[in-house]
Amino acid sequence: MLKDVSFGQYYPVSSFVHRLDPRFKIVFLIAFIVAIFLAKEFLALGIAAALLLLAILFARIPAGKVLRSVRGVLFLVLFTAAINIFFHGGETVYWSYGILQVTKEGILFSAFLVIRLFLLVVCSSLLTYTTTPVSLTDGIESLLTPLKWVHFPVHELALIMSIALRFIPILMDETDRIIGAQKARGANLDSGSPAKRIRAIVPVLIPLLLSAFRRADELGDAMDARCYSGGKKRTKYKKLRFTWRDLIAFLLIAGLVAGIVVLRYFPVFPV
C-alpha cells in the first residue's frame, strides 16, 4: 500500500515535460485545478483529460505508475461516489428504499465527481514525477519572491517543502523495513478486527517516529557543519529560464482554461 503513494517520487527520464521550467509547471498545476473546478459538463472534463493524457505521453511515464498514483485515494473516491449516488436527489428514480435512492442525476453527478478527483490526483502526481525536489523548491521560491518585500521567509519555506518532499519516499522505505522486521518477529499486521489492526500499528509507528527524529537531527547537524545560514545572499548554480517549450505549454493551458470558461457559460451537454 505504501508503494502506491506516488506523491514526492521522481521518475528520472529525459522528456519534454521534464525539461519544462518548474515555475511554469507549478502554475500549470494551479491553472489545471482551477479549470477542473470551473468545468460543469463532461465535455469540459474530456478536454482536460485529453490535455493531461498528452502531458503524460510527452513525459514518457509508464501508464502503470500513473494509475498507481490513484490507488492511494481509491477508497476516498469510491466512498464519495457512493454517498452521492445514494443521497443525491433527482427526477428519474431507478431505485428507492427509505432515505436511500438511486437516480439518473445522482449517477451522472457521481461519475462527474470521480473523473474530477481522478484528474486532480493524476495531475498532482505528474508534477512530482517530472520535477526533482530541488527544482520544485527553486520554482516555489522564485514564484514567492515578491513576498520578500514584506520580509516573508520565502527561502526557509521553500527549504521546508523540499525537505518534506525528500522525506516522503525515505519514510515510506523505512516503514516497509519496519513492517518486514515486525512480521519476521511474528507480528500479525494484516488480519484481525479493526481494533486489533489499530493496536498493531503502534509497534510500527513508534520506531518510525524515532527514525524520523533521528534523521532530522542528523540533517540539522549536517547543515550546521556546512555553515548553512538561511537564504541571505545565497546564489544559485542553475538559473531558471523560460524556453520555447514553456511557451507551447502556456498556449495549451491557456486554451484549456479559455475553452472550459466558454463551456461553463455556454454548456453543450450540462450535467
Task: Encode pLDDT of 243-265 as tens digits.
Answer: 888 888 889 888 888 888 888 87
Q: Which domain holds residue 54?
A: 2-131+241-265
pLDDT at 271: 55
Set of cell numbers at residue 31: 491553472
Task: Encode pLDDT of 197-237 as tens digits.
Answer: 777 777 888 888 898 899 889 988 988 888 877 766 666 66
Does residue 7 carry a pLDDT above 70?
no
Looking at the domain assignment, is residue 185 inside a domain?
no
Residue 1: pLDDT band (50, 70, 90) is: very low
- Among 103-107, 148-152, 252-256, 267-271, the range with the most confident prediction by mean pLDDT is 252-256
Looking at the domain assignment, is residue 43 inside a domain?
yes
Question: For residues 51 and 44, what is the distance between their CA atoms, to the nearest angstrom?
Answer: 11
Does residue 31 carry a pLDDT above 60?
yes
Looking at the domain assignment, is residue 150 inside a domain?
no
Looking at the domain assignment, is residue 27 inside a domain?
yes
Q: For residue 101, which of 111, 109, 89 has the smallest C-alpha distance? A: 89
Q: Based on the structure, what is the number of domains in the chain? A: 1
For the residues 53-64, what does the mean pLDDT come to? 88
For the residues 67-86, what does the mean pLDDT come to? 80
Looking at the domain assignment, is residue 230 inside a domain?
no
Looking at the domain assignment, is residue 226 inside a domain?
no
For the residues 149-167, what does the mean pLDDT come to? 81
Q: For residue 51, which of 256, 257, 250, 269 has the smallest C-alpha distance? A: 256
